[in-house]
Amino acid sequence: MKAFRGRLSIVNDRQEEDKKAELTIKDLRLSFGGVIAVKDVDLNVHTGELMSIIGPNGAGKTSLLNCITGFYHPQKGRIIFNGRDITNLHTHELVSVGIGRTFQNIELFPGMTVLANMTLARHIHCHYSFFNSCLFSPSVKKEEIRHRQVLEEIIDFLEMQPIRKKAVGSLPYGMMKRVELGRALALEPRLLILDEPFAGMNLEEKEDMVRFLLELNQTWGLTMILVEHDMSIVMSISKRIMVLNFGEKLGEGTPEEISNHPEVIKAYLGDVDTL
Amino acid sequence: MEGNRHNILDSTAQKNCPGFKTLPQILAANSSEYGDKKTAVRDKAFGIWQKYTWADYYRYMEKTAAGFTALGLKRGDTLCMIVENHPEWLFSASAAHALGAMTLNLFTSSIAEELNTSISRIDSPIVIVQDQEQTDKLLEIKEKLPFIKKVVYIDPTGMTSYESDPWLISYAQLLETGEKYLEGNNNFVEDEINKGRPDDIAVMIQTSGTTGIPKLAMLSHRNLLSIAMQWTQANDIKPGENWISISPPAWIVDQMWCFGVALQSAMTINFPETAETVLEDFRDIGPSLIITSSRFWEDMASSIRVKISDAGWLKRNLFYVGESVGKEIVEKTSKKQNIPLKLKILYKLMSKLVYRPLLDRMGCSHFRSAFTGGHPISPDVIHFFRAVGLNLKQCYGLTEAGGIFQLQPDNEVKLETVGKPLPSTEVQIAEDQEVLVKSEAVFSGYYKDYETTQNAFIDGWLKTGDAGYIDADGHLLIIGRKEDIIRNKSGEAFSPDFIETRLKFSPYIKEAVIFGENRPFISAMINIDLGNVGNWAEERMIPYTTYMDLSQQPAVEELILQEVQKVNEQLPDLMKVKVFILLYKLLDADEEELTRTGKVRRRFVYGLYIKIIEAMYRNEKSVNVLGKVRYRDGRIGEIETTVKINRVE
């Protein structure tokens, strides 16, 4: 009975303080041998924003995300999240700071159920001791019920009820992407990073995903960084867009500014003069 | 419920007199009788079955009703609902009934324009919608619906950006509004309930008209309680038995059941989590009664077959043995033959090893009776389920008659019939073979349409529009829609569609056209199914080249003859197929033999193949034909062939 409760508790129980997500990237440089993947990039993302990063293949988008989420460590520059320097933190530490992500290539456990995959993400929110968990004491039980409630609310929100107990490996591609988003949400992140969430989806799946992302941004107040190739989606849902090309920042601004930016047009469509 | 507020309604004896009650009065009686002791409603949400007792049901209804009043719903108004199967549907409908308002449920799949037409007819002051999707449709046509005061949305997902719109209100807010209204107005809803009269209209149901706009059939409290009483008695339904609500709220079945039968008999109504999780939720609940379309059972049968074919060697073979034993028992029972002891023992064994575990797995182990209605069910499917011990039976009804009024009694299951009428329902056949029905459940008329209402009745009997007859055992047999009926030479009516549908249940028959208007007997023109018959032929090493070649193979003729004979067994004598031919080509929409939706254009086909049809009635063995075939590239070729005429003994 959804209607009686009004909004999901996972949305309602979130205080303004829990939503704070101020990301500052200063002068970031990442290189692999002689190849410079990310070249002196600056970026600011503010609480509640939906920021998109676009650029041609090999522009360094995923490399930049991997720096933020601790998969790579940059040679130069700083990444500050909510006032804390997170440049050299490891992935598991970043998760407790409040950064969650999905991957371009799905990174789930195919043999486990949807619920089990998502449950894993609750690990960082477990507060009971190993000893207590062995006894399954009332406090553990209470906490586990809360975890399941959070997961069920996410399942409900992402309309995954029919696949709750299905093995992830047996699901269609678009559904797996949704499960991955569900797992990222189970972390209850402040900042959600989405690496090409629309790739390989059909129109209907894309529409569903857009609906979810907008709701997450508007109702849940979740700050998001989106890397995506589908321009029509990026232009319609982003608040701001940053354009990368060969590791360098070409431009940054609102969708209108970006679509009229001469450098961006050049990088995407070729030089106007040569047309 | 506190105190004796409903004591005038308490006794069960009074509950059994539907003439003195309305639906909300029964709800109040249930609430005071069962209170928090018995579960009225269960809804699966967030992965858990959330339960509502009768007292909860009454409380939510009360708040909803007060909320409606605060928003301006009055006695005699109509509440329009575009919702899915969830408790809010039930609470809102009961609330409207309590206030003396009527309810109209519309399909969630309707497009905005359809909704506009339906809602405009009834000037609904309040519309309840399920979610954002339905809200968007109404916002699209808002200009055309000036009489709507408020739209109440149930699911708040995605509605954040709509919150500032004063036209919209969430269900949670509606309940709050209701609570406030009840403060200082404690007995308001109870008083309203007491004002209700049995002949007030409770629900309106849109019935698909063949011409023009759909008609709105009105059912009163008396109508619904009458059908409810009859069902409760006929099936001996006990309080607390489980019903699962899976057919769309806009149909008669779940309205008759949830507003009527479940209330009357104090059953528990279960709402599945989503439309996609029905089979899973079904298993959680294990309902004891169900009425669904034949489609549901066909899907379930095929999903069982798919799973069995993937199962291990032992399970698979046990299943096949079990199925054949079951079928033998069912066949022997239906022919009233004695069952040998050996078979009886085998059946007991299979019941333990195969049937019970299988039914349990599908959530069907608690069924006392399962009903299928609407379109005729394939004999294979009904045999399959009856063979594994599921009491699947056929039923028949229509909106205007208050719902399903005709069902097969236990142990009297016959494939072709729809059984016997409910205890206080009378059924008779008119001279033109139209089925007529009379009972207290028969509807009160069409909304604002006196003439059509008059035409729906003859001497106090409701005309169903279906033709049929009653067989020797007193079972009703529906032939088909009256307008589709054809008469043979001696003037007896039959329905080509009735026979064709049954022929097409055979996997080997793709299309069948029945002839016989003003003829002494019935003939059939059959298209074999190239894929299935082709495979059949290959398995038996029968070589063939083209469709034409395959269709004229003697072995194939023999195969189809057996299929026709099987169908004939289920048909009454005058409808038995006496002669058939296998057509040398498939009927094709490109050649105008079929409509684009795949229906046979009977008259056209009759004219085109008149030579073959005449030959069938002339007692010939074969006929030479020169047919035209239009190829896909538009060229027209000629086919000269001999078609054999097959007689069925």
Following DSSP, what letter does each residue of B63-74 receive, concatenated?
A: HHHHHHHHHT--
Distance CA B277, CA B270 (A): 13
Residue B478 and residue B466: Cα distance in Å, rounded?
A: 7
Which residues in chain B have their CB less than 8 angstroms from residue A219's CB? 158, 160
Q: Which residue's entry shows tokens 């200009």?
A: B143
Measure Cα distances from A197 to A114, A164, A205, A213 in Å: 18, 20, 10, 10
CB pairs A-B closer than 8 Å: 58
Residues B594-607 pLDDT 10s = 877 677 888 889 99
Q: Give the mean model confidence (pLDDT) for residues A189-202.
A: 91
Can you tell me the distance from the alpha carbon of A179 to that of A167, in angstroms, rounded to the nearest whole number? 11
B45, B157, B277 member nearest A157 (Cβ): B157
pLDDT confidence of residue A2 = 56
Exposed/middle/buried for A265, CB within 10 Å: 0-12, 13-18, 19+?
middle
Q: How confident is the model at residue A165 (pLDDT cuts 50, 70, 90)?
A: very high
Structure tokens given for A107: 């990174």
The number of CA neighbours under 13 Å toward the Cβ of B482 is 15
Examine the pLDDT at B13 and tell me if it is beyond 80. no
SS (H, E, C) B576-632: CEEEEEECCCCCCHHHCCECCCCCECHHHHHHHCHHHHHHHHCCCCEEEEEEEEECC
Q: Using CB atoms, pick whichever of A2, A161, A219 lies closest to residue B155.
A: A2
CB contact (8 A) between residue A1 and residue B50? yes
Q: For residue B11, what pLDDT is reported?
A: 40
* Closest residue in chain B to residue A156, using alpha carbons only: B46
Q: Is B156 on the interface with A (CB under 8 A)?
A: yes
Question: CA of B163 to nearest chain A CA: how many angstroms apart?
Answer: 11
Among B41, B46, B51, the strongest candidate for a mutation testing the A interface, having the largest count of A CBs within 10 A, is B46
The answer to whether residue B1 scores a pLDDT higher than 70 is no
Q: Strand pairing of A50-54 and A240-245?
A: parallel
Q: How far apart are CA B119 and CA B137, in angstroms?
A: 12
User: Given this model, what pLDDT does residue B209 score?
Assistant: 53
Among residues B297, B231, B217, B284, the alpha carbon closest in space to that of B260 is found at: B231
B372 - beta bridge partners?
B292, B394
Compare B373 and B14 and report the one with higher pLDDT. B373
Mean pLDDT of A251-268: 85
Distance CA A32, CA A75 (A): 10
pLDDT for B641 equals 86
Calculate Rg over the CA atoms of chain B: 28
CB contact under 8 A, B48 and A152: yes
Q: Looking at beta carbons, which residues of chain B come within 8 Å of A4? A: 171-172, 175
Residue A248 β-bridge partners: A245
Residue B16 has pLDDT above 60, yes or no: no
Would you place residue A4 in the very low, low, confident or very high pLDDT band (cuts 50, 70, 90)? low
- Which own/partner contact pairs does B556-561 have at CB distance under 8 Å and 24+ positions apart? B556/B528, B556/B582, B557/B582, B557/B644, B557/B646, B559/B508, B559/B533, B560/B508, B560/B509, B560/B526, B560/B528, B560/B646, B561/B646, B561/B648
Instruction: Report the pLDDT averaged over residues B417-425.
Output: 90
For residue B210, pLDDT over 50 is answered with no
Can you tell me the mean pLDDT for B250-257?
Answer: 93
Rounded to a whole number of angstroms, the distance from the CA of B32 to the nearest CA of chain A is 23
Tokens in use for B86?
């969830």
Is the pLDDT assigned to residue B15 strictly greater than 60?
no
Across the interface, which of A2, A5, A218 has its CB nearest the CB of B160?
A218
B149: Cβ–Cβ under 8 A, 6 or more apart, which residues?
A: B71, B72, B125, B126
- How buried is residue B618: exposed, middle or buried, by Cβ count under 10 Å (0-12/13-18/19+)? exposed
Two tokens, residue B416: 């072709």
**Cβ–Cβ of B172/A6 closer than 8 Å?**
yes
Q: Which residues of B touch A161 (CB under 8 A)?
A: 47, 273-274, 276-277
- CA gap A259, A253 in Å, rounded: 9
pLDDT at B483 over 90: no
Which residues from A are below 8 Å from B45, CB to CB? 1-2, 156
Minimal Cβ distance to B46: which of A156, A214, A219: A156
Residue B446 has pLDDT above 90, yes or no: yes
Greatest mean pLDDT among A2-6, A35-39, B35-39 lies in B35-39
Handedness of CA A215, A217, A222, A225 (dihedral sign): positive
β-partners of residue B153 are: B129, B170
CB A8 within 8 A of CB A156: yes
Q: Report the pLDDT averaged over residues A226-231.
A: 89
Q: Do A215 and B157 touch (CB under 8 A)?
A: yes
For B328-342, what is the mean pLDDT?
Answer: 84
Q: Which of B87, B93, B130, B94 is nearest to B110 (CA)?
A: B130
What mean pLDDT is predicted for residues B145-161? 91
* Residue B633 neighbours by CB under 8 Å, 6+ apart: none
Mean pLDDT of B208-229: 83
> From the CA of B274, how many Å to the nearest CA of chain A?
7
Q: How many helices (H) and strands (E) does chain B have?
A: 24, 29
Tokens of B381: 């499917």
Dist. CA B492–CA B576, nearest whole Å: 13
pLDDT confidence band for A5 (50 / 70 / 90)? low
- Whether B536 and B559 have beta carbons less than 8 Å apart is answered as yes
Distance in angstroms (rounded) separating the CA atoms of residues B230 and B26: 16
Q: Residue B40 — pLDDT band, cuts 50, 70, 90?
A: very high
> Is A161's CB within 8 Å of B154's CB?
no
B450's CB contacts (< 8 A; 6+ apart) are none
Residues 6+ apart with CB under 8 A from B357: none
Q: What's the confidence (pLDDT) of residue A270?
A: 67
Between positions 255 and 284 of B, the ones with CB within 8 A of A are 273-274, 276-277, 280
Token representation of residue B284: 């959680």
What's the average model confidence in pLDDT over B464-479?
88
Q: Taking the CA atoms of chain A, what radius of gyration do you get in angstroms? A: 20
Strands A35-45 and A76-81 turn out to be unpaired
Name which of A14-18, B44-48, B253-257, B437-441 the model is least confident about. Answer: A14-18
E-assigned strands of B351-499?
A: 369-373, 392-398, 403-407, 420-421, 426-429, 434-438, 445-446, 457-458, 461-470, 476-481, 486-487, 493-494
- What SS3 state is found at B246? coil
Mean pLDDT, residues B293-304 taken together: 85
pLDDT at B8 over 50: no
Q: Which residue of B has its CA nearest to A221?
A: B160
Residues B593 and B587: beta-carbon distance below 8 Å: yes
Contacts of B276 in chain A (CB under 8 A): 161-162
CB contact (8 A) between residue B43 and residue A1? yes
Contact in structure between B467 and B493 (CB atoms under 8 Å): yes
Q: What is the mean pLDDT of residues B512-519?
A: 91
- Distance CA(B128)–CA(B135), nearest Å, equals 9
Inter-chain residue contact A4 with B160, CB threshold 8 Å = no
B249 touches B105 (CB < 8 A)? yes
Contact B554, B545 (CB under 8 A): no
Q: Where are the beta strands (DSSP E) in chain A?
A: 23-32, 35-45, 50-54, 76-81, 84-85, 99-102, 191-195, 223-227, 240-245, 248-253
Per CB-CB distance under 8 Å, the chain A contacts of B175 are 4
Q: Shortest CA distance to A217 belongs to which of A196, A192, A234?
A: A192
Nearest CA in chain A to B46: A152
Quickly list DSSP for B440-453: TTS--EETT-HHHH
- Beta bridge partners of residue B557, listed in sequence order: none
Task: Provide the shortest C-alpha distance from residue A158 to chain B (in Å).
Answer: 10
Q: Nearest-CA distance from A218 to chain B in Å? A: 7
Tell me: pLDDT of B463 over 50: yes
Nearest to B548 by CA among B462, B435, B629: B629
Q: ipTM beyond 0.85?
A: no
Interface of B with A in 567-606 (CB under 8 A): none
- Tokens matching residue B98: 């309590």
Q: Report, as an integer, the average pLDDT of B230-252.
A: 92
CA distance B177 to chain A (A): 13
Residues 6+ apart with CB under 8 A from B175: A4, B60, B63, B64, B67
User: Of the segments A4-18, A154-168, B499-513, which one has the largest average pLDDT value?
Assistant: A154-168
Please give the residue that has the higher pLDDT: either B16 or B182.
Answer: B182
Contact (Cβ atoms closer than 8 angstroms) between residue B232 and residue B259: no
The whole-number pLDDT of residue B102 equals 96
Which range, of B220-224, B419-423, B598-602, averages the lowest pLDDT? B598-602
How close B492 comes to chain A (CA, Å)?
51
pLDDT tens string B612-640: 999 999 888 888 888 777 777 778 888 88
E strands of B380-439, at which residues?
A: 392-398, 403-407, 420-421, 426-429, 434-438
pLDDT classification of A271: cutoffs 50, 70, 90: low
SS3 A167: strand
Q: Does B47 touch chain A (CB under 8 A)?
A: yes
Query: Residue B160 and residue A161: Cβ atoms within 8 Å?
Result: no
Q: Which residues contact B241 (CB under 8 A, 6 or more apart)?
A: B265, B267, B268, B288, B289
Q: Which residues of A touch B172 (CB under 8 A)?
A: 3-6
Q: CA B242, B244, B245: angle at the middle one, nearest 5?
A: 140
Residues 6+ apart with CB under 8 A from B6: B28, B29, B31, B32, B190
| Mean pLDDT, range A144-155, rounded to an integer | 92
Q: What pLDDT does B19 receive? A: 46
